Each structure stands twice: as C-alpha cells, then as structure tokens.
Amino acid sequence: MTDAAIRVRELRKTYDGRAVLDRMSFDVPRGSICGLVGPNGAGKTTTLRVLMGFASAETGSTAVLGVDGPMTPALLQRVAFVPEAKDLYPFARAGEMIRLTRGFYAAWDHALEAALVGELEIPLRTWCTKLSKGTLARLWLLLALCRGAELLILDEPTDGLDPVALDRVQRLLVRQVADRGVTVLFSTHQLGEVEQIADHLVMVHRGRCVVEGSLDDIRQRYRVVRCLLDDERNDVPAALEGWRRDGRFLTGVSSDDPTEMAERLVSSGVQVLDAQPASLKDVFLDHVAR
C-alpha cells in the first residue's frame, strides 16, 4: 500500500507501429494537485484514457486509489473524469444533463450543485449542442465535482475558458482540495496553470515521463545558467552541448549545483556568470524543444 492516488508503471502502446506510450511511469501523491504537461501527441490523453479503462495498453500496469488493474464499477464511483472531447447528449438541455448524471452517483453533492450552477453560470435551459466550448467545459466540471469523488482526472478541463472563468475554476479546485482532500490530476497546455495551483508535476514527451516530482523541488533544482566562453576558446565544451549560444554567451537549463559547475568548467575556459531560478517554461523547453 502506497500513498499514491495513481500509480502508472511502464505503460507501452503503439498505433501503426508508432509508440504513443513508451514505458510511461509516474505517481500522483494522494491529496495533491498534479499537472500533466507535454506537447501535443506526447501521450497525455492516452495515459488518462488507459487509467479510466477507455483504452488499453499492450504492457505495463496502473493502480488507482490503491486498487491494481483496470477500472472497476466500484472504483468508478470514487473517480470523476472529464474527457478531452467535451460532447454531451445532443437531446438534453444543460439542466437535464445534470439531473441525468445525478441519478448515477450515490454521493452526489446537491448543495454543491446548487452553488456551482450559479458560480459557474450554467444556463440550465440551453440545449447541450448550443453551449459554447467554455460553457461545456464548465458544465463538465460541475458534473465531475458534484459526484463526491475522491479523485478527479481531468483532461484539459480549462480548455476554452476565458480568464475570469479560469480564475473561478482554479479557486474551485483549490477549495475542493482544501475542504475535502481530493486528489486532482489534470492535463493542460498552459504551464501557467500548473505553476498557479499544482504542487506536483508530471512532464511527458514522446510517450515517456521526462520530469516528475514536487513543484517546489523542481523550482529549486533547475536553474537557468549563463556562461561566458573565454576569448581564445571557440568550440563549446561537451558538458554544454545543446545550450543556446549567442556570441560568447551560452545559456542553458541545468539541475547541477551552480558552484560545483563553475569549478568544473573554469579549467575548460568557461566562466559561469549567473544561475537564476528556472521557470517551468524554461524546464519544459529544455526537455521538449531541443
């Protein structure tokens, strides 16, 4: 028994001979808000769908809320999911969609539902097909939050939200974690959202997890380091391969101790100018855009 709400181990899956998941492994600690980030096609949606049992992996294993293996009906009562494609029944109005969903879940929170209809400005009488992208996203969140689930798995839950709605949704998630101790795993393209509310990060690239851990640790571990090449030196030392070069200046992201790094590099004619805390974007670009 671990304190991980989600455990993913060595998932592998191929489409047409191309690996969409390539030994994907990570943990999501209980009670955390975990941001799942990565470029398009990195395997975020596939991973979440495997967790929910909507897709299968060829090899590897998952465990959700301590239960090994694929999702069971009992487990589904404790987990809420918001999919990437936020379609709803075309024959229902928003209010009917809420009533329909409510019937499936014993732990449905009626008081929260009433509050969220107002807070998220859900137009109850509008047909689901007529809802804007942002309204659909908010309705899906209402449906997920009111179920009384312990774990929220949200695939791009904030896609299409305007800044006001985004702020409201973030406050809402934070409140759910503070009040009920739920665990949230959400995927997004917006690193700013992760920096704002997540305390845990899973960064994926080409079907694999490339950075994982507490956001505070990551903030302290990675630095943007600027170096200066000596006049007489023209080639870049092997240790700084791939760093951005601008004349005699070299800039890169490193998790090495800056003092030790400076000592190591001085003999090869490189001076470390400064090492400033790296933003998530710096770390992301370093791992993904190289």
Residue 80 to residue 113: CA distance in whole angstroms: 15
| Nearer CB in complex with other proteins: 10/217 | 217
Residue 189 to residue 207: CA distance in whole angstroms: 16
Element (H, E) at 48: helix 44-52
Number of H helices, E strands in the chain: 10, 14
Assess 195 for contact with other proteins (CB under 8 A).
yes
Assess 7 for contact with other proteins (CB under 8 A).
no
The token pair at 271 is 């001076």
Looking at the DSSP bridge assignments, the partners of residue 26 are 8
What is the rounded end-to-end Cα distance, in angstroms, of the chain?
Answer: 38
| Nearer CB in complex with other proteins: 178/238 | 178
Shortest Cβ 20–other proteins spacing (Å): 30
Assess 274 for contact with other proteins (CB under 8 A).
yes
Shortest Cβ 2–other proteins spacing (Å): 17
Angle of CA points 85, 91, 96, to nearest 5°: 90
| Nearer CB in complex with other proteins: 35/38 | 35
Residue 103 to residue 108: CA distance in whole angstroms: 8
| Nearer CB in complex with other proteins: 126/190 | 190
Residue 61 to residue 131: CA distance in whole angstroms: 37
| Nearer CB in complex with other proteins: 241/260 | 260
Site string for other proteins, 233-262 (x = CB under 8 A): -------------------------x----
| Nearer CB in complex with other proteins: 76/115 | 115
Site string for other proteins, 15-54 (x = CB under 8 A): ----------------xxx---------------------
Q: Which segment (55-63, 86-94, 195-203, 243-251) binds other proteins by CB under 8 A?
A: 195-203
Q: Which segment (53-61, 93-101, 151-159, 170-178) binds other proteins by CB under 8 A?
A: 170-178
Compute and round to an integer the Cα radius of gyration of the chain: 22
- Give the strand pairing for 223-229 and 59-64: unpaired
Shortest Cβ 70–other proteins spacing (Å): 29
DSSP letter (8 states) at residue 42: S
| Nearer CB in complex with other proteins: 270/280 | 280
Instruction: Phi first, then psi: give them for residue 163, nearest 5 degrees.
Output: -55, -35
Residue 63's identity, in one-letter code, is A
Assess 199 for contact with other proteins (CB under 8 A).
yes
Interacting residue ranges for other proteins, rule: CB under 8 A = 31-33, 167, 170-171, 174-175, 177-179, 192, 195-199, 215-216, 219-220, 223, 258, 274-282
